Amino acid sequence: MFKILISDKLEKEGLDILTADKRFTVDCKFGIPADELQRVIKDYDALIVRSGTQVTSQIIEAADKLKVIGRAGVGLDNVDLQAATKKGVVAMNTPAGNTTSTAEQTISLIMALSRNIPQAVASLKSGKWERSKFTGVELYGKSLGIIGLGRIGSTVAKMAQAFGMVILGFDPYLSVEIAKKNGIKLVDLNEIYKTADYITVHIPKTDETTHMIGETQISLMKKTVRLINCARGGIIDEAALIKALQEKRIAGAALDVYEVEPPDFQSPLFKLDNCITTPHLGASTSEAQLNVAIEIAHAVKDALSGAGIRNAANFPSLSLESYKAIEPYLGLAERMGKFAGQLVQGRISNVTITYSGAVAQEKVTAVTMALSHGLLTPILGEDVNTINALSMMKERGVNIKEIVSNQEGEYVNAIALDISTDKEPFSLLGTLSSNKQPRIVKINSVYMETVPQGHMLFINNNDKPGIVGAIGTLLAAEKINIAAITLGRENQQGIAVSVVNVDSEIPESLIEKLRQTKNILFVKAIKV
């Protein structure tokens, strides 16, 4: 008999799935205080939450029997994943439950923006008849630029095609073949910015995507462009957007999400006639709430009954012995993936992972999942997890190959990562130090020993004197402390590689100064 605690309101249909199974005892304690939850959780095998319950490390640590945490919704921001993983608790969510509702909200905002519907309604209700004032534009024949072609972005594309729109897409993890099959023309971001009549974003908010559409990007756009954001607040820089709307440099914008929620209602966003705003309604449909309830109920039921685990965000099911053996390699692989995912150039087509040494004696699928998770995280954020990473690779037409080598290579225990793209190949070699800490020991053809951790600078430069000093001087001027710096080169006077570990975030202004430094050819801030 399994005991399940549900601490946030769940639709009846989800409850019925669990209560109908005689193996489960289901207790509903909606809105239970954190201290009480910490006290009673020790008796439960599963916990189902929405966004209201904060599943802290203290609550997880107090759970003696807990096997599964299920979140009825997208993301697991309110669950301490590190604590869950350490405790051996599977944490899962429902990433597909709000796909249709968010896609429909996007299309609704596109149409409302095109036909000035909210403004016209307000005018009419105030007793005015202003037909000519609210003349709109048609969607037919217009180009829609979609940034991010995961579940929601792809659904938006299908819906928009029904209106006769031309779809331009940007997603470095979607193959040209699959995009073409779905009627999407893959282009780079600048082409979307310069040519699209409408631009909508469907990507997670990460360090890479925060303010990815700012004043520079908006300056490339047509004056008739309309911007839509139903993804995450902050992907579009609100200050730059307000300025562009006020100066009529773009035709309009529609927002369902904001940099701070609830937002500052004194913001010009809520006063501009060419901006439509809604209060984060993307997943707010009765169908979406029903879908996530049913989805999480089935997922928890299957996990408890041994019928499989899906949409887990931490690690696949492993025996304790196997997990202990591969645990250090899981960390190495995920960090290698994150490192590569921020540096690889072009559209990924093939990923080859070669295992040698002790790790090759274990089942390496979990390690491949961890590496794939890391590789996709910089672009997909919370939509990807250890369990679904491989299927998301396949959905995007990326071929992934595992090679288990019985031959001793350059290092006794190693993971080699080779990535093929439509631009330049990229490769890494990783191993563990004597105390089992992750190390990257080769980047492309350059040998060096780098600790993949925290904030880092990756630099390609001409092998000339003074580079290290220039880097140190610029970092010191910004009061950024260097934790470690590793250097490598393929040959004397050729191209060198510098990797700098620092103690704090690196501002874009400093990156630009480094780019302008003599003999520095490429620089990028990454976070692992």
Pair 118, 265 in one domain: yes
Range of the structural domain that residue 196 is part of: 99-277
Q: Is the pLDDT of residue 201 over 90?
A: yes
pTM of the model: 0.77
Q: What is the pLDDT of residues 400-415, one digit of tens each?
A: 999 998 877 778 899 9
Cβ contact 340:523 at 8 Å: no
Q: What is the pLDDT of residues 40-90, one digit of tens each?
A: 999 999 999 998 899 999 999 999 999 999 999 877 878 998 888 778 789
Q: Is the pLDDT of residue 317 over 70?
A: no
Pair 63, 155 in one domain: no
Query: Of 314, 332, 361, which residue constitutes the final position of a domain?
Result: 314
Pair 206, 337 in one domain: no
**Catalytic positions, written as ranges:** 232, 261, 280
**CATH number of the domain where residue 57 is located:** 3.40.50.720
Pair 15, 106 in one domain: no
Cβ contact 195:142 at 8 Å: no
Task: Find the distance separating the first CA and the last CA of the chain, reported in whole Å.
Answer: 41
**CATH number of the domain where residue 487 is located:** 3.30.70.260
Confidence of residue 381 (pLDDT cuts 50, 70, 90): confident
Pair 137, 173 in one domain: yes
For the chain, give percent helix, strand, coil, nearest 5.
35, 25, 40
In the numeric block, the tokens 């570990």 are attached to: 501
Q: Is the pLDDT of residue 385 over 80?
A: no
Pair 54, 113 in one domain: no
Pair 162, 239 in one domain: yes
In the numeric block, the tokens 């190495």 are attached to: 332
The three-class DSSP label of residue 202 is coil
Q: Is the pLDDT of residue 145 over 70?
A: yes
Cβ contact 367:319 at 8 Å: no
Pair 412, 438 in one domain: yes
Pair 116, 264 in one domain: yes
Q: What is the pLDDT of residues 146-157, one digit of tens each?
A: 999 998 999 999
Pair 116, 183 in one domain: yes
Query: Of 408, 425, 444, which residue constitutes the final position of a domain?
Result: 444
H/E segment holding residue 172: none
Pair 8, 111 in one domain: no
Q: What is the pLDDT of residues 222-267, one digit of tens each?
A: 999 999 999 989 999 999 999 999 999 999 999 999 999 899 999 9
Q: Is the pLDDT of residue 15 over 80?
A: yes
**CATH number of the domain where residue 339 is located:** 3.30.1330.90
Q: Where are the alpha helices (DSSP H) in 184-263?
A: 189-195, 215-219, 238-246
Please give the tally of structural domains in the chain: 4
Pair 133, 244 in one domain: yes
- Strand-by-strand arrangement of the 184-186 sheet: 184-186, 166-170, 143-147, 198-201, 226-229, 252-255, 275-277
